[in-house]
Amino acid sequence: MQGTKVVRPFPFFRAGARASQPQLSKPILVLEDVYKFFRPDQPTLRGVDLSVERGEFVFITGSSGAGKSTLLKLVYRELRVDEGRVLFCGRDIARLTDKSIPFLRRNLGIVFQDFRIIDHWTVFENVAVALEIVSMPQRLIRSRVAEALERVGLAGQGPEQTSNLSGGEKQRVAVARAIVPEPALILADEPTGNLDPHLAIDILTLFEEINSTGTTVLFATHDHSLISKRDHRLISIDEGRVSEAQQGLKHWQGSSGIHTLVG
């Protein structure tokens, strides 16, 4: 960790810092009565309460424009809540100063629908960037990138030009970049949205493998065929509020059926 001059109100967000024992037993992410307004009369999120335990795999669903991306953006501080609190590892990230945001993001792995990888970089460079920003020694970067590429099924493909890869492979590179710093929480915003159904299942399985090693995963999607294949916790956003099916879609207890739930 370098750059110790930066003002950081929350020392936990320094890379390398470990959470204390009491923090580990608390939920990793808590949203308390969160409001987000893009228009003053119509909040996108209204009074959202949500608690995610360490090691959970959570689907976030809702129709287009429901606010799935908005919810995730509040967590990686692309957006700031208008009311309420967002606690990551017990710290209110809504109160983070701009200078502290990078240190929050080093604890998160973020994956998008549009991959967001740099086409004129090699696979290795695309993954290594997540470690270079914390000034990790090159030797260590090489071994950790190789390891991450192996985990996503791209072993030995580091030197390849990213522009030559298929969509599914590009998303695997993006997943490798997200997991290579070993973040506590992965935020995936419709990571399968641009992929064929069978590739979507592959990527979902990949996230589940990552989850099985202890990493918490928030997986936003409106693909109900994907959700219905699995038994994970399911959170649905509708008209700015969240409702929840603790045991997954198959055991949904609410009055509304699957189709109204996932749009």
Partner 1 sequence: MDVKNAITRARRGLREERRLYIVAVTSLAVAFICLGATLLGVTNLDAAATRWGQSGRITLFLKDDADPQDIAQLRVVLEGLGDVNEVTHVTPTEARESFLEEADVGADLSGLPSEVFPASLEVTLVQGVTRERSESIATRLAQFRAVSDVESYGIWFQKLDQLLWGARMLALGLALLVMFCVVAVIGNTIRLAVARRRQEIEVMKLCGATNGFVRGPFVLEGMFQGFASALLAVLALLAGYLALHESVDSTLAALTGSRVVFLGAWTLVALLAGGAAIGAIGSAVSVRRYLSV
Ligand X SMILES: Nc1ncnc2c1ncn2[C@@H]1O[C@H](COP(=O)(O)OP(=O)(O)OP(=O)(O)O)[C@@H](O)[C@H]1O
CA distance 229 to 85: 33
Rule CB under 8 A: say whether 1 interacts with partner 1. Answer: no
Both tokens assigned to 161:
């030009």
CA distance 37 to 122: 40
CA angle (138, 140, 145) in 5-degree steps: 90
- Binding-site ranges for ligand X (CB under 6 A): 38, 44, 62, 64-70, 222
Of 67 and 181, nearer to Mg ion (C-beta) is 67
Residue of 44, 69, 162, 216 that binds Mg ion (CB under 5 A): 69
Beta bridge partners of 83: 35
177 binds, among partner 1, ligand X, Mg ion, none (CB under 5 to 8 A by kind): partner 1
User: To which H or E segment does residue 144 belong?
Assistant: helix 138-151
Rule CB under 8 A: say whether 191 interacts with partner 1. Answer: no
Rounded CA Rg of the chain: 18
Q: How far is the CB of 73 from Mg ion (least distance, A)?
A: 9
- Binding window for partner 1 (CB under 8 A); candidates: 128-136, 159-167, 188-196, 241-249: 128-136
Rule CB under 8 A: say whether 167 interacts with partner 1. Answer: no
Sign, CA dihedral 116-118-122-126, equals negative
Residue 237: what residue type?
I
The residues near 255 (Cβ < 8 Å, ≥ 6 apart) are none
Residue of 45, 130, 145, 217 that binds partner 1 (CB under 8 A): 130
Rule CB under 8 A: say whether 144 interacts with partner 1. Answer: no
Rule CB under 8 A: say whether 110 interacts with partner 1. Answer: yes
Both tokens assigned to 196:
């064929």
Rule CB under 8 A: say whether 105 interacts with partner 1. Answer: yes
171 binds, among partner 1, ligand X, Mg ion, none (CB under 5 to 8 A by kind): none
Displacement of CA 180 from its chain's centroid (Å):
13
139 binds, among ligand X, partner 1, Mg ion, none (CB under 5 to 8 A by kind): none
Q: Give the interface with partner 1 as residue ranges (CB under 8 A).
A: 2-3, 6, 76, 99, 102-106, 108, 110, 116-118, 120-121, 129-130, 132-135, 177, 181
